């Protein structure tokens, strides 16, 4: 492998994921939950943007000026194509982190984000990123960072060692990387079938191996087959950032903000008896066997005062983004799913089921006749955001100003969806971020945006599009073989799209 990669897999492109944690509006909402001020984000930066879906969606859907880099040329090219299509204010670079950090043409940033980078790069690159944050993040600015965590990956660290050795010593040099990876996974199968004592002591590695089999090979290449793969404890992360003036604020996952969905009463009691924050947070990670942390940090934190907090309650709007009838009152918990209290959640969901944005104070007023108290309403909104049913909405003027750019980006993405297997999101001017949609819904969006409102024609168009590239219709995770079954499924999907999804996508400014 040549030097510029520093051991990073660069001969296989990454997946086309979208990550809403990189949307500065979500940072604002999560930080206010911890009473911390978020700056108005005028300049933002994404390090290692991969295929560039998130950076382009956020640039098109908001007035924030975005900068970002990724050193795989094909990925940066695709990111530039999206930027050209939307016409948004986004500056895409094809630099290594080292070269990017040395640029003289970058502004200082209100927000720096890196998703899926930290655990997969060398210590040298970690140092470069820390120095970049130190130098380029403005006081009050927000850092979003995610990384693989211990203790959740402890058992896999040793299996990953075997995988690295296999690639160095056993992989067939005549094969391409994806074939070598498949050979490695086959080897692990054979190895575990001999019932090694390692697997007896660490039985969960068998489940991990089953999961590897189901993963996209491009994802596997970037996730496990870089030279560097370093899950770390939260305390190690805090060591890395200790000289930057950054404070850890919170998890970006709203459900992490609520103890009852994560730990038992006894565990909560023990945690409450621990005062040093780092120790408490680490014990909590052990309680949930945390594998992945996604965090917001702030440089020179400032607390919100009462007036600012009230202003957010009066001005920040939220909208329901999932069909009301599809929303269950369940959330994932440590031992299976947990039930939400219908008396707390049903009235909120019913109120929001007209898909009109509302502030928390408006909701409070409209729910006056119910017995819901404000703290319950507030918690319901946090939890429903955690369930991805509700999204924050950006200011009205911003919504209209960015609509043209999101329309252009969405047309481009809809045209790409057949070629790029896993583009799962379109840009919403309303939320300033992405909304998840699978390939079939994206095809329906594309044709309905052309003014066609006949579900019969949507089906014909979708079938013709999918068949032209040999893509099968998937039902409940299973590809359908016959045309008859495929068309029947597409009809069902078109009906559902028209009745449930389209009205929401209209409000979100996507369809
Ligand atoms: C696991 S991928 C994550 C991509 C993207 N953030 C996402 O989550 O979809 C890591 C990305 O970091 C980029 N990368 C790794 N090392 C880099 C470096 N030294 N300089 C620039 N980009 C780098 C890779 O090209 C890759 O696209």
Q: How far apart are CA 107 and CA 44, in angstroms?
A: 9
Q: Are residues 164 and 282 in the same domain?
A: no
Whole-number pLDDT of residue 219: 82
> Are residues 128 and 34 part of one domain?
yes
| 171 in the same domain as 22 | no
Same domain for 49 and 144? yes
pLDDT of residue 1: 38
pLDDT at 4: 66
Distance 49 CA to ligand 1 centre (A): 6
Determine the atom of ligand 1 nearest the C-alpha atom of 117: 10
How much is the pLDDT for 263?
A: 92
Task: Tokens for 228, please give them.
Answer: 């560097």
> CB of 261 closer than 6 A to ligand 1?
no
Residue 117: which of 19, 30, 42 has the closest Cα?
Answer: 19
Q: Count of CB atoms within 10 A of residue 466's CB? A: 18
Ranges under pLDDT 70 in the chain = 1-4, 12, 335, 421
Looking up tokens 């370093």 gives 230
Alpha helical stretches, state H, 319-370:
342-352, 360-366
What is the Å distance from ligand 1's center to 243 Cα? 24
Does residue 229's CB lie within 6 angstroms of at least one atom of ligand 1?
A: no
113 C-alpha to ligand 1 centroid (Å): 12
97 and 170 together in one domain: no
Domain that holds residue 201: 154-224
252 domain residue, yes or no: yes
Cβ–ligand 1 distance for 166 under 6 Å, the answer no
In a domain, 208, yes or no: yes
Distance, CA 150 to ligand 1 centroid (Å)?
A: 21
Q: Looking at residue 260, what is its pLDDT?
A: 87
Q: Is 291 found in the same domain as 176?
A: no
Q: How close is the Cα of 50 to the center of ligand 1, in Å?
A: 5
Angle (CA) 38-44-47 rounded to 5° is: 120
Return the pLDDT at 216.
82
Domain boundary among 251, 283, 299: 299
Q: What angle do CA 403, 254, 367 make, to 5 degrees?
A: 75
The answer to whether residue 363 is domain-embedded is no
Residues 262 and 290 in one domain: yes
> At 97, which CATH number?
3.40.50.150
> Are 184 and 93 contained in the same domain?
no
What is the per-residue pLDDT for 3?
61
Among candidate residues 170, 201, 224, the one where a domain is terminated: 224
68 lines ligand 1 (CB under 6 A): no
Output the pLDDT for position 2.
Answer: 46
Tell how far the Cα of 501 is from the centroid of ligand 1, in angstroms.
33
Q: What is the tally of structural domains in the chain?
A: 2
Place of tokens 């909402």: 29
* pLDDT tens digits, 262-284: 999 999 999 999 999 999 999 99
C-alpha–C-alpha distance, residues 207 and 334, integer Å: 17
Q: Is 128 exposed, middle or buried (0-12, 13-18, 19+ CB in 10 A)?
A: buried
Same domain (yes/no): 64, 140: yes
CB 251 less than 6 A from any atom of ligand 1: no
pLDDT tens digits, one per residue of 73-129: 999 999 999 999 999 999 999 999 999 999 999 999 999 999 999 999 999 999 999
Q: Which of 68, 61, 112, 70 is nearest to 90 (CA)?
A: 68
256 lines ligand 1 (CB under 6 A): no
Measuring from atom 12 of ligand 1, which residue has the nearest CA? Answer: 48
Residues 171 and 111 in one domain: no
Our answer on whether the CB atom of 8 is closer than 6 Å to any ligand 1 atom is yes
Task: Using the 3D structure, point to which of 189, 224, 259 is the last residue of a domain.
Answer: 224
- The set of long-range contacts for 81-84, using a CB threshold of 8 Å and a minimum separation of 24, is 81/412, 82/52, 82/53, 82/56, 82/409, 82/412, 82/413, 83/52, 83/56, 83/59
Q: Is residue 257 part of a domain?
A: yes
Cα–Cα dist 316/392, whole Å? 7
- Indicate whether 247 belongs to any domain: yes
Tell me if 452 is assigned to some domain: no
Q: Are residues 18 and 123 in the same domain?
A: yes
Let me know: does 227 contact 11? Beta carbons within 8 Å.
no
User: Residue 241 has what pLDDT?
Assistant: 97
R_g of the chain computed on alpha carbons: 23
Q: Are residues 110 and 175 in the same domain?
A: no
224 lines ligand 1 (CB under 6 A): no
| pLDDT given for residue 498 in this prediction | 94
* CB of 116 sitting under 6 A from ligand 1: yes
| 10 CA: nearest ligand 1 atom | 25
Residue 304 covered by a domain = no
Decide if 269 is inside a domain: yes
């Amino acid at each position: 492998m040549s030097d510029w990669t520093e051991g990073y897999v660069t001969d296989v492109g990454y997946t086309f994921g979208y990550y809403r944690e990189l949307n500065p509006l979500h940072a604002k909402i999560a930080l206010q939950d911890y009473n911390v001020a978020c700056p108005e984000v005028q300049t933002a930066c994404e390090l290692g943007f991969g295929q560039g879906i998130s950076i382009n969606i956020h640039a098109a859907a908001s007035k924030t000026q975005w900068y970002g880099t990724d050193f795989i040329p094909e990925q940066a090219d695709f990111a530039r194509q999206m930027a050209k299509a939307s016409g948004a204010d986004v500056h895409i670079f094809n630099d290594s982190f080292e070269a990017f950090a040395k640029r003289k043409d970058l502004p200082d940033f209100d927000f720096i984000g890196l998703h899926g980078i930290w655990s997969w790069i060398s210590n040298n690159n970690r140092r470069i990123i820390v120095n970049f944050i130190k130098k380029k993040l403005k006081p009050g600015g927000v850092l979003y960072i995610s990384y693989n965590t211990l203790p959740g990956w402890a058992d896999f660290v040793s299996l990953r060692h075997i995988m690295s050795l296999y690639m160095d010593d056993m992989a067939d040099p005549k094969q391409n990387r994806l074939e070598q990876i498949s050979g490695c996974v086959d080897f692990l199968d054979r190895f575990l079938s001999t019932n090694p004592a390692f697997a007896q002591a660490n039985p969960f590695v068998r489940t991990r191996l089953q999961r590897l089999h189901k993963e996209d090979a491009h994802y596997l290449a970037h996730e496990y087959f870089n030279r560097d793969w370093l899950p770390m404890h939260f305390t190690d992360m805090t060591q890395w950032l200790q000289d930057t003036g950054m404070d850890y604020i919170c998890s970006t996952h709203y459900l992490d903000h609520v103890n009852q969905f994560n730990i038992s009463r006894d565990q909560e009691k023990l945690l409450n008896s621990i005062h040093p924050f780092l120790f408490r947070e680490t014990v909590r990670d052990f309680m949930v066997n945390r594998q992945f942390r996604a965090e917001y940090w702030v440089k020179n934190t400032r607390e919100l005062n009462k007036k600012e907090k009230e202003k957010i309650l009066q001005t920040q709007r939220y909208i329901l983004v999932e069909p009301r009838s599809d929303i269950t009152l369940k959330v994932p918990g440590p031992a299976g799913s947990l039930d939400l209290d219908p008396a707390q959640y049903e009235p909120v969901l019913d109120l929001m089921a007209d898909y009109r944005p509302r502030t928390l104070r408006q909701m409070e007023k409209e729910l006056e006749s119910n017995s819901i108290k404000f703290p319950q309403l507030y918690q319901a909104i946090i939890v429903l955001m955690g369930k991805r049913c509700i999204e924050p909405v950006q200011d009205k003027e911003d919504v209209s100003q960015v609509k043209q750019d999101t329309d252009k980006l969405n047309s481009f993405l809809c045209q790409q969806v057949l070629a790029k297997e896993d583009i799962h999101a379109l840009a919403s001017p309303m939320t300033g971020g992405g909304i998840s949609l699978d390939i079939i819904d994206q095809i329906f969006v594309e044709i309905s945006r052309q003014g066609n409102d006949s579900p019969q024609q949507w089906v014909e168009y979708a079938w013709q599009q999918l068949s032209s590239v040999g893509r099968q219709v998937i039902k409940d995770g299973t590809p359908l073989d016959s045309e008859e079954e495929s068309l029947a499924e597409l009809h069902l999907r078109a009906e559902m799209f028209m009745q449930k999804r389209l009205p929401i996508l209209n409000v979100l400014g996507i369809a």
